């Protein structure tokens, strides 16, 4: 049902937690299941220096966000904005069709956190 | 959003895992979010001697199943069948309304595992 990469990111999620002095914080909810994803960004000179996430969501949401945070860490804001839900799922080696909605939380929370960063600056 | 009891059972879930020589195994899927819950029972003389669950579900599903397994361990089959989703949520001190569907997995998977036990015997 789930790829080895999904299971690895579910069992050992990267970048879980909070950044107390984040430069941008995003929170989005999933219309389908009601789960919430919170994303914290530390940004310097247009580069995402650190990123962490918190969720009560399912295994697919955890794996997707773990992978997505790895994909944007050290990248510019523009590069992070270009990361799509589809790329995250591809990097995970796929997700079951009925769990694709969980991975959307990752992309949306990153965009929400970057919007919050721009709103502050 | 979540009670201390929910957070406790989410962070430290009881009875997670598999029982290799289970007497009854139940698996149910959640129509709303697509998550799956698997429940294993060890039954002797009509009493549930051991119970374990596996899921890729969200925090609410994990907390509900953790609590439900604690509620049926050491109980008779009839007592276990009488445990409702509502009692589990009450024991957790409540769940947000949009997460109630996650707790249904616990009740349904217990009933499914007991049905499987009867089918075998
Ligand atoms: S079921 Fe809610 S995030 Fe996956």
Q: What is the pLDDT of residues A42-66, one digit of tens each?
A: 999 999 999 999 998 999 999 999 9
Q: Which residues, 6 or more positions from A83, have their beta carbon under 8 angstroms from its beta carbon?
A: A68, A71, A72, A107, A110
Are the C-beta atoms of residues B67 and B84 closer than 8 Å to each other?
Answer: no
Distance in angstroms between the alpha carbons of the first and the last residue of chain B: 44
Q: Measured between CA atoms, how close is B32 to chain A, in angstroms?
A: 7
The reported pTM is: 0.87
Instruction: Give, to the nearest 10 degrees, the angle between helix A59-72 and helix A100-120.
Output: 40
Please indicate whether residue B99 or residue B70 has the higher confidence score (pLDDT).
B70
For chain B, percent of residues with pLDDT exceeding 70 = 100
Residue B14: is it exposed, middle or buried by C-beta count within 10 angstroms (0-12/13-18/19+)?
A: middle
Which atom of ligand 1 lies closest to the CA of B57?
1
A34 closest CB neighbour out of B34, B57, B99: B99
To the query of whether residue A58 is one of the catalytic residues in this protein, the response is no
Write phi, then psi, for A22 (nearest 5 degrees). -60, 150
pLDDT of residue A34: 85
Which has the closest alpha carbon to B13: B56, B42, B44, B47? B56
Could you tell me if the CB of B35 is within 6 A of ligand 1? yes
In angstroms, rounded to a whole number, what is the distance separating the alpha carbons of residues B68 and B63? 9
Residue B99 CB contacts under 8 Å (≥ 6 apart), including other chains: A34, B58, B60
Nearest residue (CA) to ligand 1, atom 1: B33
Cα-flanking dihedrals φ and ψ of residue B49, to 5°? -80, -30
Residues in chain A, how many?
A: 121
CA distance, residue B48 to nearest chain A CA (Å)? 28
Taking 90 as the threshold, does the pLDDT of residue B44 lie above it?
yes
Interchain CB distance below 8 Å, A56 and B58: yes
Question: Percentage of chain A with pLDDT > 70?
Answer: 100
């Amino acid at each position: 049902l789930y790829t080895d990469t999904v299971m690895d990111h579910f069992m050992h999620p990267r970048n879980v937690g909070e950044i107390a002095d984040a430069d941008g914080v995003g929170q989005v909810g999933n219309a389908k299941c009601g789960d919430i994803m919170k994303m914290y960004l530390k940004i310097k000179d247009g580069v995402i220096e650190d990123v962490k996430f918190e969720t009560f969501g399912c295994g697919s949401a955890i794996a997707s966000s773990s992978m997505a945070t790895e994909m944007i860490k050290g990248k510019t804001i523009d590069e992070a904005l270009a990361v799509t839900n589809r790329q995250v799922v591809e990097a995970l080696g796929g997700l079951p069709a009925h769990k694709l909605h969980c991975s959307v939380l990752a992309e949306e929370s990153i965009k929400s956190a970057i919007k919050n960063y721009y709103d502050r600056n």
